[in-house]
Amino acid sequence: MRKYWVIFKNSIQTATAYRFNVFASLFNELLTLLILAYLWISIYHQGNKIGNYSLKGLIIYFVVNKFINLIIKSLDTARIVGEEIREGVIINYLLKPINYLNEYIFFNAGYIFYRLIFYIFIFIIVIFFSLGFFDFNLLRIFYFIIFLVISYFINLFIFYIIGISTFYFGFIMGLNYLTQSIISFLSGAFLPIDLFPSWLYNLMNILPLKYIIYVPISILTGKLNFSISLLSGGILWMLFFYELSIFIFKKGIKKYEAFGI
């Protein structure tokens, strides 16, 4: 465990070297948030209503959405893992007594921890100003954190799997882009998934993507109530992707020919 702690600390130190990126990402997300807010305000000022969402409800949805984006999607996992395999850097890890997936999780966690320090204050301010609009309570925030952790791991494992697909495909830039596009949309990052046509919404209810954005936000805003079935569903999907990533890595490493070193 100690070796992973060192990786975690190193990752924080690396992140501090690139402070510009942290501020630039924040600027990015705030800019897109501003635009989306204008879009929704324009629609609601015309007297329209989107589904059963109030204007404030939609804006809060996208504020939390941006917070999740800043935290769980801050590193391009598939690209990082894919490049390490393609360029042969992964050999360095294979020769050491460390697990590559654990190493990556701790590296990623360090980076996210550093970002969290910046963004948590903004998020707390938003929560504070939203107190009048929503039934935020400590229990909901606690459940939100649990589902945020599930969201983080499901997202990480999916893109880790895309990354280690480099063992088979050699280059996964296209696959990464395709997956990012689909996941962004179907996880509820563009629109809450309960606004989708009913057939698509029903399909999304079966699939795990809703756990990445829609479920954590809906738990926080009270749109969804916490239930054991919802929680166990998320944990099962998380374990499924974890096992799948272990399986694909084991198979892939057998056919891996280290090139590029």
Give residue 10's identity as a one-letter amino acid code.
N
The sign one gets for the Cα dihedral 148, 181, 200, 62 is positive
Q: Which of 241, 61, 106 is nearest to 163 (CA)?
A: 241
Task: Give least dist CB 145 to another protein, A.
Answer: 26
Smaller CB separation from another protein, 48 or 232? 48
CB 166 within 8 A of CB 226: no
Site pattern 159..188 for another protein (x: CB under 8 A) = ----------xxxxxxx-xx-xxx-xx---
CB of 67 to another protein, least distance (A): 16
- Output 40 or 100, the one with its CB closest to another protein: 40
Binding region for another protein (CB under 8 A) out of 92-100, 146-154, 189-197, 229-237 = 189-197
Chosen residue from 6, 9, 16, 39 binding another protein by CB under 8 A: 39
Sign (positive or negative) of CA dihedral 209, 145, 77, 245: negative
Assigned token pair, 153? 């791991």
Residue 55 in the binding site for another protein (CB under 8 A): no
Helix 2-17 × helix 100-130 angle, to 10°? 60
Cα 67 from Cα 56, distance rounded (Å): 16
109-127 b/e (C-beta count within 10 Å ≥ 16 → b): bbbbebbbeebeebbeeeb
Stretch that binds another protein, among 3-11, 27-35, 90-98, 244-252 (CB under 8 A): 27-35
End-to-end CA distance of the chain: 29
Q: Which of residues 190-209 bind another protein (CB under 8 A)?
A: 190-191, 195-197
- Of 10, 16, 42, 225, the one binding another protein (CB under 8 A) is 42
Q: Does position 17 bind another protein by CB under 8 A? A: yes
* Residue placing its CB nearer to another protein in the complex, 133 or 190: 190
Q: Which of 10, 16, 41, 225 binds another protein (CB under 8 A)?
A: 41
Cβ atoms < 10 Å from Cβ of 87: 14
Decide if residue 260 touches another protein (CB under 8 A): no
Q: CA-to-CA distance for 221 and 31, rounded, in angstroms?
A: 23
Quick one: 2 or 45, whose CB is closer to another protein?
Answer: 45
Interface residues with another protein (CB under 8 A)?
17-18, 20-21, 24-25, 27-28, 31-32, 35, 38-39, 41-43, 45-46, 48-51, 169-175, 177-178, 180-182, 184-185, 190-191, 195-197
